[in-house]
Amino acid sequence: MTVSPSGSPSGSPTGRLPRRLRRVPLNLAALAVLAVSLFPVYWMVLTAFTPTRDIQARTLSFWPAHPTLEHFATAVRADGFWTFCRNSLTVTAGAVLLALLVALLAAFAVARMRWRGRKAFILMVFVAQMAPWEALLVPMFIIARDTGMLDRLSMLTLIYFMTTLPFTIVTLRGFLAAIPADLEEAALIDGCGRTAAFRRVVLPLLAPGLMSTSLFGFITAWNEFAFANALIIKNQDDRTLPVWLSSFGNVFGTDWGATMAAATLFMLPVLLIFLILQRRVTSGLIAGAVKG
Amino acid sequence: MTAASQAPARRHDHDRDAPASGPSAPPAAQPRPGPSRLTGLWPYLLVAPTLVGTAYLLLYPLIRSVVISFQHFRTGELIRGGAEFVGLENYLEVLGGAEFWAVVRRTLLWTAVNVTLIMVISTAVALMITRLGRGMRLAVMGGLVLTWATPALAATTVFQWLFQSRLGVVNRLLTGLGLESFQDYTWFADGTSTFVILVALVVWQSVPFAALTLYAALTTIPAELYEAARIDGATGRQVFASVTFPILRPLFGLITSLEVIWVFKCFTQIWAISRGGPGEATTTLPVYAFQVAQSLHKYDLGSAISTLTVLILVVLLITHLRRMLRHEGEQP
């Protein structure tokens, strides 16, 4: 589209104007994409801040006319909210860190070493992504029960670790493979040891990869509902946020304001981590681009 | 991790010493067998944690599940144990019913519609981002990141709210546009409209990952290639077909198969919104297996359906698996 000849002879003095005009449809499309991506989230947050009488009013408002915190108060005061928050954070962070560590080892072996069984290992990792996790509820329940891990958050941590591991390996391996092995070798020639070469050359370049894969792992684990629902039965204090969130219907009834406030709060940690990490991801990408 | 890099480090030290001490120095030659044998072991040590985790948390439960699919395993057996083997009985019951085949057809339709939309829209969005000015590019990427960061359950709840019959913004907007028939329209009472809303939800959630990954890959294509194509007078479409797509083909393959897997297995959104209903309009294979196992307590039939689900997915992806393996073999 932009490939069309930009320096057409007619446009030499006013060459800027046609280009800007040509950008109009492009920018309109961009605005449309932006609107579609943002609107549902905007509507969620807006509803969370809108008083119930305004939500039920017959006229629509796209702007918080009378912002209120009543719905957040309702959500936060609901039974066990903070406990579930803490449980979710613990389980998710544990699973993500474990997956990153284990995946980094495996990705290094796959991307940088030649060994018998490597192909089979890659195939196994790829197939593991197809694992029908919802279908494993019954056997998981039996295993947890038989090993005394039922009602334990550590069992959930292990399961979330395993659900995110294959993807983490695949992506980290991709990021590792994109880092030329020559860089490491150059560092080796410059007198670094293998460990130093990895830490000083590969790891900084891999940082964006580690960040984005951990983001994915965080979202997956933070979201998980079926296992948390099935494996935490007796000890209700060990429930996680998604299980609590899914019971909104019972907790808040048709109180859409409180429901949206709870959904907003549920989204908040993911968003915060995203914002913190995303800056590093982009700065890492830019640094990589500058270094060429 | 420190242990992981020790042996290669030692080998490297040896390599570095070798030229300095010269071929006549015996100590340089002596340690050679040691480190190389260690290097031979290292990859296996590095993948060991993955293998142990997979064996205990995936393979073992999977085998248990397959075993259950050959047993009579209902509530009684779950509590007391002592399930009996019944051979292929469960599979015959599942495959013999018309319901299963309807679910399979629906799942294939669900996957095809979603993945096609996701790939087409993501490619268009990724190409669009590369052409945007800096400010707009950051805005669009920010929007995509926000969408991507929205947890599935939150997004699902929001979509239920958007399409709520009486107070939902969609119905109010449509009514406002003069489409009076959407006054209090109950989207979730109709099979087709529930299906459409679920597609919209899954596509909305899936595009950001695919688009951002494709965009990142697009930026790695050297500008010289585009310039060359431009000089040759190629149109935008020709550039995409002859430069962009061939270079990104492996990534397109990877993203498509990941999306196929994710969409095919999609459970949380469907379950939270419709539980497979109304009727059976949105019952896909994972939902069906869950219904049979958890709601009907027919764990044996549920396990049989799960096993068949995995087999179908493997068949769907076999071409990609084969190509990927061939590609692996080509690497030096």
CA distance A221 to B300: 28
CA distance A91 to A155: 9
Please judge whether A126 and B324 are an interchain contact, meaning their C-beta atoms are less than 8 angstroms apart.
yes
Omega cis (within 30) before B43? no
- Residue that is written with structure tokens 């006013």 in the block: A14
Q: CB-based contact (8 Å) between B219 and chain A? A: yes
Please judge whether B169 and A60 are an interchain contact, meaning their C-beta atoms are less than 8 angstroms apart.
yes
Q: What percentage of chain B exceeds 70 in pLDDT?
A: 86
Question: pLDDT per residue over A140-170, tens digit each?
Answer: 888 888 888 888 889 999 999 999 999 899 8
Q: CB-based contact (8 Å) between A6 and chain B? A: no
> Is the same domain home to A24 and A169?
no
Does A67 reside within a domain? no
Residue B2 in this model has a pLDDT that exceeds 50: no
pTM over 0.90: no
What residues of chain B, 75 to 94, have a C-beta less than 8 Å from chain A? 78
Q: What is the least distance, in Å, from the CA of B4 to any CA of chain A?
A: 8
Return the sign of the alpha-carbon dihedral for residues B20, B25, B27, B32: positive
> Is the same domain home to A33 and A98?
no
> Would you list the domain boundaries of chain B?
101-295
Q: CB-based contact (8 Å) between A283 and chain B? A: no
Q: CB-based contact (8 Å) between A121 and chain B? A: yes
> Is the same domain home to A10 and A118?
no
Q: CB-based contact (8 Å) between B145 and chain A? A: yes
> Is the same domain home to A107 and A224?
yes
Does A210 reside within a domain? yes
Does A108 reside within a domain? yes
| pLDDT given for residue A288 in this prediction | 41
> Is the same domain home to A95 and A166?
yes
Q: CB-based contact (8 Å) between A85 and chain B? A: no
What are the backbone angles phi and psi of residue B303, rounded to the nearest 5°?
-65, -40
CA distance B135 to B141: 10
Question: pLDDT per residue over B116-161, tens digit each?
Answer: 999 999 999 999 998 888 889 989 988 998 888 788 888 988 999 8
Q: What is the least distance, in Å, from the CA of B125 to any CA of chain A?
A: 8
Q: CB-based contact (8 Å) between B179 and chain A? A: no
Give the helix/strand (H/E) hosting B72.
strand B71-72
CA distance B92 to B95: 5
Q: CB-based contact (8 Å) between B53 and chain A? A: yes
Does A51 reside within a domain? no
Q: Which domain holds residue A200?
A: 80-290
> Is the same domain home to A25 and A136?
no
Question: pLDDT per residue over A96-148, tens digit each?
Answer: 999 999 999 999 899 888 889 999 999 889 888 777 787 788 888 888 888 88
Q: H helices then E strands: how many in chain B?
A: 17, 2
CA distance B50 to B39: 19
Residue A290 in this model has a pLDDT that exceeds 50: no
What residues of chain A, 186 to 225, have a C-beta less than 8 Å from chain B? 188, 191, 193-195, 198, 215-216, 219, 222-223, 225
> Is the ipTM value over 0.85, yes or no?
no
> Is the same domain home to A102 and A197?
yes
- State how beta strands B84-85 and B71-72 pair: antiparallel
Instruction: Output the domain CATH number for residue A274.
Output: 1.10.3720.10
CATH architecture type of domain B101-295: Orthogonal Bundle (1.10)
Q: Is residue B23 very low, low, confident or very high in pLDDT (cuts 50, 70, 90)?
A: very low
What residues of chain B, 237 to 266, have a C-beta less than 8 Å from chain A? 239, 254, 258, 261, 265
> Is the same domain home to A168 and A27?
no
Q: CB-based contact (8 Å) between A130 and chain B? A: yes
Q: H helices then E strands: how many in chain A?
A: 14, 0
> Is the same domain home to A233 and A101?
yes
Lowest mean pLDDT among A26-40, A48-62, B258-272: A48-62
Q: What is the least distance, in Å, from the CA of B212 to any CA of chain A?
A: 11
Please judge whether A165 and B53 are an interchain contact, meaning their C-beta atoms are less than 8 angstroms apart.
yes
Tally of structural domains, chain A? 2
